[in-house]
């Protein structure tokens, strides 16, 4: 039963990577992937050994039981297992442990492996040999297609980059189980890399936040803003989002009705709030909540604006190939003018300033004036003498 559940989870994982289009929505896929692996870990811990030594032993035994050209007694199996363990992991097991492993592999809660003992020899000179009654059986045999195996291999590569990060020590086990259970080895070449800040504060809370969000569990949070102001409260978590290499938790604070977001790197402490009844999200649709903004800051008092931008000749091809927002449209190819329909926020302003002198806001006038005032303030910092001359004139 558990093997079927694990198989379904992996199938679902693969389908997520195919359907959700990893190349365009990799952040969403990462969250799904971490969540699925957490579920797998919980199921797996109830039925399987939790270290790669056990997985290695199962792998060696599986190879022996499938070998139709050799006969393995219990002593032969012990020698084979200890030889491989000594060579790869520098350890060995006892005969008692080996018998336990065989019984575990036979268990219906584990692999339900058809391991049989066969008596060979004459009376007074015989031995019992271990093998699979079905020579085609393997505990790592799977029915994934070549395309699914390729996608799963990519998933293993992606997940492996989280190894060694705070609160994710269990990923070593998950990746190892994927590799062992499906006989899939990740690409040896480092062909893909991601922008990632492993020293970012708050990553140790990520797994707990995702689990609480998925299972509707209130959290007690001590939050410290950059201003130094501290908030000690209970939040009902609804959604987790990554933006600009930072993670944000969206939810409703106890006693408040509006939506709040907390940056995980500003959280000081985070614990469960078991005595608090969860307030269900019945107002916000996070499938489309971020459609009209860039980033995570949503000002409900603002309305969506039609913003026209003119780019320099050198910058325009990059903006055209990598749109600022999904609403981006080319209004004038010759003049290099594009438009976006968004609610202005600080993230939009920051992104436009990152283009430097390569962009000019044409409309709306009030947003153009806002950026112009910020540019003027910045000008004073870099050219104070010229500014004094202008004022004297």
Full-prediction pTM beyond 0.75?
no
* Whether pLDDT at 199 is above 50: yes
Which among 367, 325, 327, 363 has a CA at the least distance from the CA of 344?
A: 367
Model confidence pLDDT, tens digit, residues 17-55: 433 333 334 434 544 554 455 444 444 444 444 456 788
Residues of the chain with pLDDT > 70, as a percent, come to: 69
- Distance between CA 375 and CA 373 in Å, rounded? 5
Most trustworthy range by pLDDT among 34-38, 187-191, 258-262: 258-262
Gyration radius from the chain CA atoms: 29
Phi and psi at 61, nearest 5°, equal -65, -40
Q: What is the mean pLDDT of residues 371-386?
A: 86
> Can you list the domains of the chain with their CATH numbers?
2-47+142-182 (no CATH), 52-132 (1.10.10), 203-272 (2.30.30), 305-385 (3.30.70)
What band does 187 get if pLDDT is binned at 50, 70 and 90?
low
Give me the sign of the Cα torsion angle 314, 318, 320, 325: negative
CB atoms within 10 A of CB 62: 22
Give me the sign of the Cα torsion angle 210, 198, 54, 134: positive
CB atoms within 10 A of CB 179: 20
- Distance between CA 222 and CA 202 in Å, rounded? 12
Cα-to-chain-centroid distance, residue 235: 23
Q: What is the mean pLDDT of residues 59-76?
A: 91
pLDDT of residue 47: 41
Residues 6+ apart with CB under 8 A from 316: 336
Most trustworthy range by pLDDT among 39-43, 168-172, 173-177, 372-376: 372-376
* Whether pLDDT at 327 is above 60: yes
Model confidence pLDDT, tens digit, residues 330-343: 999 999 999 999 99
Model confidence pLDDT, tens digit, residues 86-117: 888 888 999 999 999 999 899 877 788 999 99
- Distance between CA 330 and CA 319 in Å, rounded? 10
Q: Output the six-digit token pair for 354.
A: 């990152």
* Whether pLDDT at 141 is above 90: no
What band does 191 get if pLDDT is binned at 50, 70 and 90?
low
- Burial classification of residue 184, based on how many CB atoms lie within 10 Å of its CB (0-12 exposed, 13-18 middle, 19 or more buried): middle
Q: What is the mean pLDDT of residues 196-206?
A: 73
Q: What is the mean pLDDT of residues 280-297?
A: 91
Q: What is the mean pLDDT of residues 151-158?
A: 61
């Amino acid at each position: 039963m558990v093997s079927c559940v694990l198989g379904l989870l992996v199938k679902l994982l693969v389908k997520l990577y195919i359907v959700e289009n990893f190349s365009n929505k990799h952040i969403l896929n990462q969250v799904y992937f971490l969540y699925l692996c957490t579920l797998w870990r919980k199921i797996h811990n109830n039925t399987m050994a939790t270290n790669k030594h056990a997985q290695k032993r199962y792998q060696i035994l599986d190879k022996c039981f499938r070998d139709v050209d050799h006969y393995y007694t219990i002593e032969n199996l012990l020698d084979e297992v200890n030889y491989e363990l000594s060579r790869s992991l520098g350890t060995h097991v006892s005969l008692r442990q080996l018998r336990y492993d065989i019984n575990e592999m036979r268990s219906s809660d584990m692999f339900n492996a058809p391991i049989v003992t066969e008596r060979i020899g004459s009376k007074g000179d015989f031995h019992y040999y271990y093998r699979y009654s079905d020579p085609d059986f393997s505990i790592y045999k799977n029915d994934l297609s070549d395309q699914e195996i390729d996608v799963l291999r990519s998933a293993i590569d992606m997940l492996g980059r989280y190894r060694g990060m705070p609160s994710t020590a269990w990923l070593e086990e998950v990746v190892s189980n994927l590799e062992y259970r499906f006989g899939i080895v990740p690409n040896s070449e480092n062909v893909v890399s991601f922008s990632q800040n492993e020293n970012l504060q708050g990553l140790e809370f990520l797994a707990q936040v995702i689990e609480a969000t998925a299972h509707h569990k209130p959290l007690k949070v001590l939050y410290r803003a950059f201003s130094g102001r501290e908030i000690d409260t209970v939040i009902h978590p609804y959604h987790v989002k990554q933006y600009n290499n930072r993670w944000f938790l969206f939810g409703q604070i106890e006693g408040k009705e509006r939506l709040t977001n907390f940056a995980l790197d500003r959280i000081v402490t985070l614990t469960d709030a078991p005595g608090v009844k969860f307030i269900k999200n019945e107002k916000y649709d996070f499938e489309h909540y971020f459609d009209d903004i860039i980033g995570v800051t949503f000002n409900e008092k603002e309305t969506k604006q039609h913003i026209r931008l003119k780019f320099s000749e050198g910058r325009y091809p990059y903006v055209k190939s990598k749109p600022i927002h999904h609403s981006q449209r080319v209004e004038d190819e010759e003049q290099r003018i594009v438009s976006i329909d968004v609610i202005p926020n600080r993230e939009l302003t920051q992104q436009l300033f990152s283009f430097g002198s390569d962009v000019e806001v044409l409309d709306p006038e009030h947003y153009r004036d806002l950026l112009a005032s910020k540019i003027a303030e910045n000008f004073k910092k870099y050219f104070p003498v010229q500014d004094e001359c202008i004022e004297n004139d």
